[in-house]
Amino acid sequence: MSEKVESSSSRELIAFRIDGREFCVDIMQVRDIRGWTPATPLPHSPAYVRGVINLRGAVLPVIDMATRLGFAPTEPTVRHVIMVTQVEQQIIGLLVDAVSDILTVTEADIQPTPDLASELAKTFVRGVLAIDGRMISLIALDHVLPAREALAA
Amino acid sequence: MDTMAAIKQTFFQECEEQLVELESGLLALEDGTSEPDTINAVFRAVHSIKGGAGAFGLEQLVRFAHAFETALDLVRGGKLTATRAILKTMLSAADVLADLVRITREDGVADDAEITRMVQQLEAISHGGAAAAGSQPADAEPADDLDFVPIQISLADLIGAGPSGTRSFKIRFEPKTGFYARANEPLVMLREISRLGAMRVTCDQTRLPSLTELDPEGAYLAWEIHLDTESDESALRDIFEFVEFDCDISIEEKQVEADFDTDAFAQLMSLASGQTPPMAQPLEPRTEQIAAEIASRNESETANRKSDANKGFNQAGATIRVDLERVERLIDLVGELVINQAMLSQRVAEARIARSSALAMGLDELEQLSREIQDSVMAIRAQPVKPIFQRMSRVVREAADMTGKSVTLHCDGDSTEVDKTVIERLTDPLTHMIRNAIDHGIEKPEVRLAAGKPESGHIRLAAMHRSGRVVIEVSDDGGGINRERVRSAAIAKGLIEPEAQLSDEEIDNLIFLPGFSTAATVTDMSGRGVGMDVVKRSIQALGGRISIASTPGRGSTFVMSLPLTLAVLDGMIVSVADETLIVPLTAIVETLKPSTGDIYHMGGDSRVIRIRDTFVPLIDIGHVLGYRNKLADPQNCVVVLIDLEGHARRALLVDTIQGQRQVVIKSLEANYRRVDGIAAATILGDGRVALILDVDAVVENANGKAASSASESLDLDHDTHARAPQRAHDFATELEPEPVE
């Protein structure tokens, strides 16, 4: 849980909404934001993997962030968006309700995740931010995809 | 530093080519198919590696290559006969050299002891050979120079022996056409010589023809160089080291006084030989000028000459070296183009534009064109399997040495071309199969003799194109598979039931099961960790199949069938539960519309379909992949009959067939991971992703499902994860047909 503080200089985060809650990721990880297009479902995949889509010739998985974070599954409409993010060498699409804001914060603004957070939240939430009286959770994307080695049965 | 790294990279790439040349040359010498030029090619290969290594200061490599070169030079000069034993040592030396190059490339540290041992062996050959030939040891050049000794003495007598320190050389340097073709420059040579001391150059233009007869690419000029230097002859030789094949060089040493007037000496020389004195001084500027002209012509014509020279020297066509990344980028782009073109066609079709309209016809042409571009781009990456086959000869040598067996390797069709990515991933499976063949297949010499076979075992490696795929066969003339032992081992490991009735073919296929290893025969060689199941899996990962045929006492043959490329695939587009899937066309035998009377329930979810009096297990793709929970009604479906490895058949149930087309293969693993039952993905004309079915994996999954859901066990449900041979399953179902429920 110990997030390394790299520097006190400011960083930009991109905020998005899922089921009325707000989350954010580092803007450097976001490559593209596009409207929802139907994904091709993958057999034997976890419920939070909506399937795969074609992004300019590359095949990338789309993760329903609501399901991944333990909320009710998203019923995607044309108003939903896919945030195309880069996690290490892989490109992953994140299905979210909407992109809401771009935040400029310093490391000092990021508060540690409250202790009472669930195990699931601990896996993804790297800290919380208080912006204009709202709480926004900073998400780390490292564990969003299922582990590579483990094949679904 | 970057440039240096790039040059070094090129050097190592060239080393790879030289090593291939070296090995094939040595092999040709060994089996007597060598041509007169072969030994020269072999020598040149080692020599080039040495030269390049010297330039980069790779001392260890230079030292080894030098010892190797010395031995080869004796063979080349006819001072040493290349016996089998000597060639064997040389092949081992080539292996060590290859290792050394690889280690150096990876900045590793080579095992000095092994290199020293090999160097000693090579030196032993060199000395032995030289002694046998009754001439001076090792270095050939000084031996040649012995002819000039009388002249040296007479000159010394003539002008009186001068004090040592400064020595005087007369050098005649006569480049041949190849010298220029390889982008060498006389001026550079001369400059290098001038660095050694005081130099005077005379250009010999006597061979220069009239302008009308002049071949612009010919070599007509020669230079006579007088050099006073404190260096010795070897320093001079070093300058010419890399061009010695491309020019005639003679170096004579004159013993003169240090302050001897060289002009006077030259006159004296010519007087002695009764000639007019050469007009050295006035000619000098012209020499420079001509050299400069030649150099500039060189530059403009290097490309032409180089290709000519290549034809002459290596029998290879003109080639360029291109970064693989660029080719891959191009392949990706062409893939996009093909997808885009398909999307466009679909839009046009949707717009109900007449097929005869100019637009539709133009699109047809575009389709044709994109196909051709795609084929041509794929051809760029296609490479002959020769290098990998050649690497196998080393595997054979090492494995034969380790087991104390005598084995020869015979390769057929090594010019067969396959995509580079396929070739790269073939090395490991082939290596293992060959080790296996030598370790388990080929018998000991005494056993072979007793069985009336030649003492030396034979392994054949063959590649051929067959119906859009490449087929690679590994066969040996050993004892074949010991079915009794395989069977008992499989029973002992719990892979099959003791009472299971298996055909010979089914028993042979047991060796592909994970966890199968006939413990009694494990040696340190095949105990290296991988089994035939790994071989099978890596072949499957390539979209290939492997099968085995074995005759007791006569040997075994492994047959691998692989796609020519990993970039495109011909597939049948089918619909299953509202999803679109691609079934690889190579697996499909036929498609048919089932009638209800042909379907028989076997209990649980198992069903079979009767196709012309054989019963084939029916697999509902939608059910296996989890697209639907209930089994589909065959009446509303189409059956796709597929051929598995080992010729087992399965009937796949799909909803409809949309058509056939070539699809561009897109990896799922790049951004996600492997998905069981799915080989890869592709992008359809509408821009959506469709999944390409991994037929064998789907069948295995279906077996698992059927076995776990069936109320009564068939023959292999004690462990649903063990991949039972498909044929065994077939056999049992055919033998014990259950009444329709």
pLDDT level of residue B269 (50, 70, 90 thresholds): low
% of chain B at pLDDT higher than 90: 7
Judged by CB atoms closer than 8 Å, whether chains meet at B689 and A146 is answered as no
pLDDT one-digit tens code per residue, B493-530: 777 888 878 888 888 888 887 777 654 444 444 444 45
Tokens of residue B142, six digits: 């000084």
Interface membership of A60 toward B (CB under 8 Å): yes
| Bridge partner residues of B81 (DSSP) | none
Sheet holding B638-643, edge to edge: B588-592, B638-643, B649-654, B614-620, B607-611, B599-601
Q: What are phi and psi of B723, to 5 degrees?
A: -80, 100
Tokens of residue B575, six digits: 């619909």
Tokens of residue B574, six digits: 């089918």
> Is the pLDDT reported for residue A149 higher than 50?
no
Q: Specify the 3-state DSSP secondary structure of B232.
A: coil
**Cβ–Cβ under 8 Å, residues B341 and B370:** yes
Q: Please, which residues have CB within 8 angstroms of residue B690's CB and are 6 or more apart in sequence? A: A40, B573, B579, B580, B581, B582, B663, B681, B682, B683, B684
Give CB contacts under 8 A, 24+ apart, made by B185-191: B185/B291, B185/B294, B185/B295, B185/B298, B186/B221, B186/B223, B186/B291, B186/B294, B186/B295, B187/B288, B187/B291, B187/B292, B187/B295, B189/B239, B189/B240, B189/B243, B190/B223, B190/B225, B190/B291
Distance, in Å, from the CA atom of B97 to the CA atom of B119, rounded to the nearest integer, reads 11
Interface membership of B693 toward A (CB under 8 Å): no
Distance separating the N- and C-terminal Cα atoms of chain A: 31
Q: Please, which residues have CB within 8 angstroms of residue B77's CB and are 6 or more apart in sequence? A: B140
Interface membership of B25 toward A (CB under 8 Å): no
Of the ranges B97-111, B627-641, B701-715, the best mean pLDDT one = B627-641
Tokens of residue B151, six digits: 């002249």
pLDDT one-digit tens code per residue, B430-455: 988 898 888 888 888 888 888 888 88
Q: What are phi and psi of B716, to 5 degrees?
A: -145, 35
Nearest residue to B68 via CA among B81, B50, B85, B51: B50
Q: What is the mean pLDDT of residues B607-622?
A: 89
Of B332, B677, B688, the CB nearest to A40: B688
Q: Specify the 3-state DSSP secondary structure of A69.
A: coil
What residue type is B69 in one-letter code?
E
**Number of inter-chain CB pairs under 8 A, A vs B:** 79
Of B666, B675, B683, the CB nearest to A44: B675
Distance of CA B596 to the CA centre of its chain: 53
> Is the pLDDT reported for residue B669 higher than 70?
yes
- Closest-CA distance, A133 to chain B, in angstroms, reads 37
pLDDT level of residue B292 (50, 70, 90 thresholds): low
Q: Contacts of residue A47 in chain B, CB cutoff 8 Å?
A: none
Distance, in Å, from the CA atom of B711 to the CA atom of B241, rounded to the nearest integer, reads 81
DSSP B156: H
**Cβ–Cβ under 8 Å, residues B681 and B673:** no
Interface membership of B686 toward A (CB under 8 Å): no
Q: Contacts of residue A85 in chain B, CB cutoff 8 Å?
A: none
Nearest residue to B84 via CA among B26, B129, B20, B131: B26
Distance, in Å, from the CA atom of B435 to the CA atom of B613, rounded to the nearest integer, reads 42
Judged by CB atoms closer than 8 Å, whether chains meet at A59 and B691 is answered as no
To test the contact with chain B by mutation, choose from A32, A40, A82, A148 the residue with the greatest count of B C-beta atoms within 10 A, namely A40
pLDDT one-digit tens code per residue, B516-572: 765 444 444 444 445 788 888 888 778 788 888 888 888 899 999 888 777 778 889
Judged by CB atoms closer than 8 Å, whether chains meet at B676 and A58 is answered as no
> Is the pLDDT reported for residue B487 higher than 70?
yes
Q: What pLDDT, on a 0 to 100 scale, did the predictor assign at position B613?
A: 84
Q: Contacts of residue B332 in chain A, CB cutoff 8 Å?
A: 57
Distance, in Å, from the CA atom of B112 to the CA atom of B505, rounded to the nearest integer, reads 49
**Cβ–Cβ under 8 Å, residues B171 and B178:** no
Distance, in Å, from the CA atom of B440 to the CA atom of B478, rounded to the nearest integer, reads 8
Distance, in Å, from the CA atom of B244 to the CA atom of B43, rounded to the nearest integer, reads 13
pLDDT level of residue A91 (50, 70, 90 thresholds): very high
Distance, in Å, from the CA atom of B562 to the CA atom of B422, rounded to the nearest integer, reads 8
Which contiguous run of DSSP H or E holds residue B306?
Answer: helix B280-314
Q: What pLDDT, on a 0 to 100 scale, did the predictor assign at position B639?
A: 92
pLDDT one-digit tens code per residue, B117-150: 888 888 888 877 554 444 444 444 444 444 444 4
Distance, in Å, from the CA atom of B702 to the CA atom of B624, rounded to the nearest integer, reads 6
Q: How far is CA B580 from CA A3, B23, B547, B573, B685, in A?
A: 44, 50, 30, 7, 12
Distance, in Å, from the CA atom of B667 to the CA atom of B683, rounded to the nearest integer, reads 11
Q: Contacts of residue A57 in chain B, CB cutoff 8 Å?
A: 332, 335-336, 339, 666, 683
| Bridge partner residues of A102 (DSSP) | A14
Of the ranges A132-146, B142-156, B271-285, B506-520, the best mean pLDDT one = A132-146
Q: What pLDDT, on a 0 to 100 scale, did the predictor assign at position B666?
A: 86
Of A54, A92, A145, the CB nearest to B683: A54
pLDDT level of residue A102 (50, 70, 90 thresholds): very high
DSSP B478: S
CA torsion B396-B399-B403-B409 (nearest 10°) is -10
Tokens of residue B242, six digits: 């890399």
pLDDT one-digit tens code per residue, B306-353: 444 444 444 455 778 888 788 888 887 887 788 788 878 888 888 888
* Mean confidence (pLDDT) of chain B: 76
Judged by CB atoms closer than 8 Å, whether chains meet at A59 and B627 is answered as no
In terms of DSSP bridges, do strands B545-551 and B555-563 run parallel, antiparallel, or are they unpaired?
A: antiparallel
Distance, in Å, from the CA atom of B83 to the CA atom of B379, rounded to the nearest integer, reads 41
% of chain B at pLDDT higher than 70: 79
Sheet holding B656-664, edge to edge: B656-664, B568-576, B579-584, B689-693, B678-683
Judged by CB atoms closer than 8 Å, whether chains meet at B678 and A43 is answered as yes
Q: Specify the 3-state DSSP secondary structure of B541.
A: helix
> Is the pLDDT reported for residue B28 higher than 50?
yes
Phi-psi region at B646: left, alpha or beta (left = phi > 0; alpha = psi -120 to 50): left
Q: Locate the chain A residue with the closest alpha carbon to B681.
A: A59
Judged by CB atoms closer than 8 Å, whether chains meet at B681 and A52 is answered as yes
Q: What pLDDT, on a 0 to 100 scale, did the predictor assign at position A136?
A: 92
**Cβ–Cβ under 8 Å, residues B640 and B591:** yes
Q: Contacts of residue A41 in chain B, CB cutoff 8 Å?
A: 579, 627
Q: Please, which residues have CB within 8 angstroms of residue A101's CB and are 6 or more apart in sequence? A: A14, A15, A22, A24, A131
In terms of DSSP bridges, do strands A11-18 and A98-105 run parallel, antiparallel, or are they unpaired?
A: antiparallel
pLDDT one-digit tens code per residue, A32-84: 999 998 999 999 889 999 999 998 878 999 999 999 888 889 999 989 999 99
| Lowest mean per-residue pLDDT among A26-35, A90-99, B594-603, B650-659 | B594-603
- Closest-CA distance, B736 to chain A, in angstroms, reads 30
Sheet holding B167-175, edge to edge: B197-204, B222-229, B167-175, B247-254
Of A45, A57, A152, the CB nearest to B683: A57
Interface membership of B129 toward A (CB under 8 Å): no
Interface membership of A118 toward B (CB under 8 Å): no
Q: What is the mean pLDDT of residues B366-373?
A: 88
